[in-house]
Amino acid sequence: MIDLDKIINTAIVEINKQLPSDLKVDKNADIEIFGPKSKFDSMALINFVLIIEEQLKKEKIDNKNLLSLLMDKTSSINSYLISDFKADIKKIIN
């Protein structure tokens, strides 16, 4: 079974290395990954998604285009949380 929380936490740790100290993300918070309160710029958002895809590949879950999923969401909603993304990933991998 895939530990999606661990995968997302790994991605947050890696993204925090790229973010300025005032924009670091608490890995225990359900933050907005896009929307008016997001701390991610477009590059951090893309990197976040790519890190998760890479971690999923290590778990033998390939060919899941999460970036495409996320871009579809940006055109239809104004705010998207980590919990929303996690729920969508679970739908895709199950």
CA distance 23 to 64: 28
Longest dimension (CA), the chain: 36
Mind listing the pLDDT tens digit for each residue in 83-92?
A: 999 999 999 8
Mind listing the pLDDT tens digit for each residue in 19-71?
A: 899 889 998 889 999 899 988 888 999 999 999 999 998 888 876 788 888 88
Q: Which residues on neighbouring strands pair with residue 43, listed in sequence order?
A: none
Helical spans, DSSP H, in 1-81: 4-18, 42-58, 66-76
Question: How high is the pLDDT of residue 16?
Answer: 93
* Full-model pTM: 0.87
Judged by phi (left if over 0) then psi (alpha if -120 to 50, else beta), residue 27 lies in alpha
Question: How high is the pLDDT of residue 89?
Answer: 92
